Amino acid sequence: MNTTDPNTTRHAADVLRFLAGQPSPEEVLALRPSAGLQSHIDELLAKALNEDLSVAEEEEWQQIEALEHLIRTAKANAISQFGDNHH
């Protein structure tokens, strides 16, 4: 059963759609979470540090971590494209 917050799932889908649209390296590097999402991530992080996450929150945190890894990878690729284009 998926108990992940629907907003997190929507944000993940938005990021995947964005990346599937083959954005420019500049667009990838400019990608940031909305203020609301960042606030929610900060709340989950604080709870995670105190080991107070519910099962549903833990699932959501794992989804956020996976999405963050994807974004970091995309940003690393964007940075390498800058290097490739300037040689």
Q: What is the DSSP secondary structure assignment for residue 51, as one 8-state letter? A: T
User: What is the pLDDT, as a whole number, of residue 11?
Assistant: 85
User: What is the pLDDT, as a whole number, of residue 84?
Assistant: 67
Q: Which residues of 5-31 are buried (b: 16+ CB within 10 A; e: fewer)?
A: beebeebbeebeeebeeeeebeebeee
How many residues can be counted in the chain? 87
Give phi and psi for 54, each to the nearest 5.
-75, 175
User: What is the pLDDT, as a whole number, of residue 83?
Assistant: 73
Compute the distance between CA of residue 83 and CA of residue 3 in angstroms, rounded to an integer.
41
* pTM score of the predicted model: 0.79
Reading the chain (87 residues) residue by residue, the pLDDT tens digits are 455 677 788 888 999 999 999 999 999 999 999 898 899 999 999 999 998 899 999 999 999 999 999 999 999 999 998 876 655
